[in-house]
């Protein structure tokens, strides 16, 4: 990978979707420059950043002169680019993408919102907290049920499905869920942690720009 084709990740050290892209880069052996966005200060809503990410969200990934946003789309892109974590055949790749879509719909909102309310907005209406808590619980049960049957989510080897679905799970304690309540998820998390390049969020994500 030439310098001109290097990666720059725009993210926040607190952001699960930013971690998702950082982890994929790390697991595929890519180094990357980093631009730290101070979300509480609204750095993601400035005109400069909106020119990078039209949605005003983190993460974004610049690869040479191409910029891509949406963490699961970036996982798809990076696995396509590197040929890694893509499954051994086309069917497995499609099933891995199904899991990413499921994660965005049924796992991430429940876990990340529960984490947000717990850490940053504890006075949120209890009825709202319950909606997301129940969603997170239901999603974790589906994940645990699958991992009771198969070692990895799609196919015989780890894929972007596992990387994507792992990221909310990385924050379970902060969301006040107990990993021990989902024993197959716990065992899978240990298999993931053994992959070369694996790092936990606060070990991986820089708090300031990295050139």
Among 6, 62, 82, 106, binds a copy of itself (CB under 8 A): 106
Size of the site for a copy of itself (CB under 8 A): 28
Residue 17: CB minimum distance to a copy of itself, A: 9
Please report whether residue 15 would count as binding a copy of itself according to CB under 8 A: no
Residue 167: CB minimum distance to a copy of itself, A: 14
29-68 mask for a copy of itself (x: CB under 8 A)? -------------------------xx----------x-x
Please report whether residue 127 would count as binding a copy of itself according to CB under 8 A: yes
Q: Which two tokens stand for residue 37?
A: 């966005």
Among 29, 64, 89, 101, binds a copy of itself (CB under 8 A): 101
């Amino acid at each position: 990978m030439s310098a001109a084709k290097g990666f720059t990740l725009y993210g926040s050290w607190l952001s699960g979707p930013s971690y998702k892209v950082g982890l994929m880069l790390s697991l595929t052996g890519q180094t990357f420059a980093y631009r730290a966005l101070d979300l509480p200060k609204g750095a993601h809503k400035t005109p400069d950043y909106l020119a990078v990410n039209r949605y005003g969200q983190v993460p974004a990934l610049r690869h040479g002169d191409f910029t891509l946003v949406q963490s699961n789309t970036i996982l798809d892109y990076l696995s396509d680019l590197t040929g890694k974590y893509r499954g051994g055949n086309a069917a497995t790749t499609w099933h891995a993408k199904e899991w990413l879509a499921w994660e965005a719909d049924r796992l991430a909102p429940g876990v990340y919102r529960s984490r947000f309310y717990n850490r940053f907005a504890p006075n949120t209406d209890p009825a709202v907290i319950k909606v997301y808590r129940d969603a997170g619980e239901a999603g974790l049960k589906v994940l645990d049920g699958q991992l009771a049957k198969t070692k990895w989510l799609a196919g015989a080897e780890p894929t972007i499905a596992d990387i994507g679905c792992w990221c909310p799970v990385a924050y379970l304690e902060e969301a006040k869920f107990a990993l021990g309540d989902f024993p197959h998820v716990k065992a899978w998390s240990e298999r993931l942690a053994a992959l070369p390049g694996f790092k936990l969020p606060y070990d991986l994500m820089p708090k300031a720009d990295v050139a």
